[in-house]
Structure 1
Amino acid sequence: MKFRPLHDRVLIESLESEEKTAGGIIIPDTAKEKPQEGKVIAVGPGAKSEDGKAIPMDVEVGDRVLFGKWSGTEVKVDGKEYSIMKESDIMGVVGK
């Protein structure tokens, strides 16, 4: 993939939610909620402070992250759907 986010933006591939509930009920696509967990595919170089110094990113490519339900913008890159959002929209990294 030849896509590099700018500044403090992150490209995320959403991880699909479970298709069945714990009780075994199959959830149809129309009833599924938008995923809130994803894998970081690409990160920008980081934001710049007021004096021009780079602020390093806290997330790295490959991290599993949690983000807000309506965070980011959906984009298509190389025919695949991703979300692009600012690092501040990410709530946390799941495991390391």
Structure 2
Amino acid sequence: MALKPLKDRVVAKVEKPLEKTKSGILLGEAKEKPAYAVVESVGPEVKVVKKGDKIVYKEYSTTEIKVDETDYIILKEEDILATL
């Protein structure tokens, strides 16, 4: 991948949010819901996450970018809420 994050930034590939549970219940939209992504690369100052980690982040705290028809986000390590 050509995107190399700087400092404490993380580049992740966006995963489509669930619209329906396994049992068929439709999920509503929240104003600021957490979203999921897979880490593609990390900057030199990132300490907690690594490439391949699945992360939960605040949806509106990122910079979105599209490269070769794939949606990526760039965010600070501090904006990651959890890893799965």
TM class by shorter chain equals 0.7 to 0.9
Alignment of 1:81-92 (within 5 A): 81-92=71-82
Of 44, 58, 64 in structure 1, the residue corresponding to residue 54 of structure 2 is 64
RMSD, matched Cα: 2.3
Structure label with greater radius of gyration: 1
Instruction: Supply the distance in 2 between the matched residues of 1:19 and 1:8 (Cα, whole angstroms).
Output: 31
TM-score, normalised to structure 2, is 0.78
Gaps of 5+ in 2: none
Gaps of 5+ in 1: 47-55
> Any idea what SS the aligned residue of 1:36 has?
strand
**AA aligned opposite 1:74:** E
